Amino acid sequence: MFALLIEQVLNGLQLGVMLFMIAAGLTLVFGVMGVLNLAHGALYMVGAFAAAFIAAETGSVVLGILVAMPVAALAGLLIERLVIARLYARDHLDQVLATFGIVLFANEMMRILFGPRPLFLNVPDFAAGTLEILPGVPYPVWRLVIILVGLVVAGGLALLIERSRLGMLIRAGAQNRRMVAALGVDIGRLYAVLFALGGLLAGLAGAVAGPVLAVQVGMGEPVLILAFVVIVIGGIGSVRGAFTGALVVGLADTLGRAYLPELARAVLPPAAADQIGAALASMTIYLLMALVLAIRPKGVFGGRD
């Protein structure tokens, strides 16, 4: 029982750090630039496809993942320069329409380049198999690697935001973007850098998820929905909020799926319990989001600007 709980907590943690890598870029772009970017999931897909393609060509998954990051960053930069740079002054509806168009475009582009069938990406050899984290509880090594990568990214991002000049501008931008522009900061360049950074992180997430998930067209959309839940819970514009939100969502979703059906069975007849348990498990994170919004309408770490 206890061993299973530990395993499920690790599973939740792994999902959480994955979501953090995607949500961090999303929350920065939304928080600092005020852009509602639905195309962020496309960058995650680009990362996964780039990793799968390079791994298939060279035989090295690690190289694939390393290449995926700059490719996704470049894709982010391109999207920002070509489309989003023209939309900063427009309202959110225009941004939603334009970035949704990019999602459709990116999906068809990937289909033209790589075909309609999912691609293959394996776990790198060094991380194949399982590790016995507790006696009798083997855990996939690759999931441990994902957790590690996620924590390193979180640490690096915290340093960048708290300790660097770029970080200072990002924090200032999230507080009051007009004031930052008025102070003579080249706001156009800051935006471009932020978009590339967001793309890099989303691409990394897609690349490390590739060995676990299906690398296929449209893989960015379900993840994007979860990432939006994360940044709404965490507070838009806050990287710390994205981290907390991602862990909360990852754990709530995993533990909900693991234990809600059983809890339901304890109080209801089996047939009804399976129905209600499964339905509740699907809704867990949305119920959680509603609860957080009811208490703190701007999210746990929100409340600025």
Partner 1 sequence: MTMAVGAAEAADAVKIGLLTTLSGDGAGLGVDTRDGFMLAVTEAGGMLGGVPVDVRVVDDARKPETAVQAADRLVSEDKVALMTGIVFSNLALAVVPRVTRDDVIYVSSNAGPSQLAGAGCHPNYFNAAYQNDNLHEATGAAVEQAGVKRMVLIAPNYPAGKDSLTGFKRYFKGEVVDEIYTKLGQLDYAAEIAKVRADKPDGVFIFLPGGMGINFVKQYDQAGLKGDIKLFGPAFSFDQDVLPAVGDAALGVINGAQWSLDLDNAANKAFVAGFEAAYDRLPSVYAMQGYEAAHIMGAGLKAAGGDVSKLDDLRAGMRKADFDSVRGEFRFGTNQHPVQDLYAREVVKDDKGRLVNRIVSKVFDDHVDAYAADCKMN
Q: Which of 117/165 has CB closer to partner 1?
A: 117
Q: What are the residue ranges of helices labelled H in the chain? A: 2-33, 40-58, 61-82, 92-114, 141-163, 165-175, 177-182, 187-209, 220-234, 239-267, 270-295
The H-or-E segment that residue 132 falls in is: strand 130-134
Burial class (CB in 10 A: 0-12, 13-18, 19+), 271: exposed
Side-chain half-sphere of 242: how many Cα atoms within 13 Å? 31
> 138 forms bridges with which residues in the sheet?
132
Among 123, 133, 151, 158, binds partner 1 (CB under 8 A): 123
Pick the closest to residue 47 from 27, 70, 79, 24 (CA basis): 70
**Is residue 35 classed as helix, strand or coil in its secondary structure?**
coil
Pick the closest to residue 213 from 118, 279, 126 (CA basis): 118
Among 70, 74, 111, 144, binds partner 1 (CB under 8 A): 111
Under the criterion CB under 8 A, does residue 117 sit at the interface with partner 1?
Answer: yes
CB of 222 to partner 1, least distance (A): 5
Would you say 22 and 242 are in contact if contact means Cβ atoms under 8 Å apart?
no
Q: Which of 77/212 has CB closer to partner 1?
A: 212
Q: Which of 109/151 has CB closer to partner 1?
A: 109
CB of 273 to partner 1, least distance (A): 11
CB of 116 to partner 1, least distance (A): 4
Number of residues forming the site for partner 1 (CB under 8 A): 46
CB of 303 to partner 1, least distance (A): 31
Stretch 270-299: interaction string toward partner 1, x if CB under 8 A:
----x---xx-xx-----------------
Would you say 260 and 281 are in contact if contact means Cβ atoms under 8 Å apart?
yes
Please enumerate in sequence order all residues whose Cβ is within 8 A of that of 162, keeping only pairs 6 or more positions apart, or say none: none
CA distances, 26 to each of 4, 66, 72, 242 (Å): 33, 21, 14, 9
**Is residue 119 classed as helix, strand or coil in its secondary structure?**
strand
CB of 166 to partner 1, least distance (A): 32
Under the criterion CB under 8 A, does residue 102 sit at the interface with partner 1?
Answer: no
Task: Please identify, among the stretches 29-37, 70-78, 118-126, 185-193, the one whose residues bind partner 1 according to the rule CB under 8 A.
Answer: 118-126
Task: Please identify, among the stretches 59-67, 70-78, 128-136, 169-177, the one whose residues bind partner 1 according to the rule CB under 8 A.
Answer: 128-136
Q: Residue 172 and residue 186: Cα distance in Å, rounded?
A: 13
Task: Please identify, among the stretches 113-121, 164-172, 195-203, 295-303, the one whose residues bind partner 1 according to the rule CB under 8 A.
Answer: 113-121
Q: Residue 80 and residue 227: Cα distance in Å, rounded?
A: 20
Under the criterion CB under 8 A, does residue 211 sit at the interface with partner 1?
Answer: yes
CB of 3 to partner 1, least distance (A): 9
CB of 266 to partner 1, least distance (A): 15
Under the criterion CB under 8 A, does residue 40 sit at the interface with partner 1?
Answer: no
Which residue ranges make up the site for partner 1 (CB under 8 A)? 4, 7-8, 11, 14-15, 107-108, 111, 115-120, 122-123, 128-130, 138-140, 142-143, 211-219, 222-223, 254-255, 257-258, 261, 274, 278-279, 281-282
